[in-house]
Amino acid sequence: MIKKRALKKIKDALEMQRKELLSKRTDLDLDFDGDETDFLQARTILLVSNELSTRDKNKVLQIDQALQRMSDGEFGKCADCGEDINEKRLEIMPYTLVCIDCLEQSEKEGRV
């Protein structure tokens, strides 16, 4: 079972990361009206920005799910076997849903 102090530390870090992700500005000043090079450059910047935005949205979703598991008292429990996930693993990857043993088993079976 994860210690209360570690849980609070993880929760605080998740909330801060969530706040930072949600506060990112996505306003871009792109030049689509210039020559072909300007157009291609603007298009590339837009595509990269959209990809980063999608990653940020996915990260916020993972954070929200981890925070919900904390509220539900399910944080730190492996979704596959129900055992406790190692506290150090949770500190590094607070969004993880499975313990190392189940992750390794999934990899062996080709599910990951």
Question: How confident is the model over 42-90, as pLDDT tens digits?
Answer: 778 777 777 778 888 899 999 999 999 999 999 999 999 999 999 999 9
Q: How many domains does the chain have?
A: 1
Domain that holds residue 103: 4-109
Q: What is the pLDDT of residue 28?
A: 65
Helix residue ranges per DSSP H, the chain = 4-23, 36-72, 87-92, 100-109
For 1-10, 15-24, 89-98, which range has the lowest pLDDT when averaged over its residues?
15-24
Whether the model pTM is above 0.75: no
CB 84 within 8 A of CB 76: yes
Please tell me whether residue 84 adopts helix, strand or coil conformation.
strand
CATH number at residue 58: 1.20.120.910
Rounded Cα distance, 16 and 10, in Å: 10
Rounded Cα distance, 109 and 90, in Å: 23
Question: How confident is the model over 23-44, as pLDDT tens digits?
Answer: 776 666 666 677 777 777 877 8
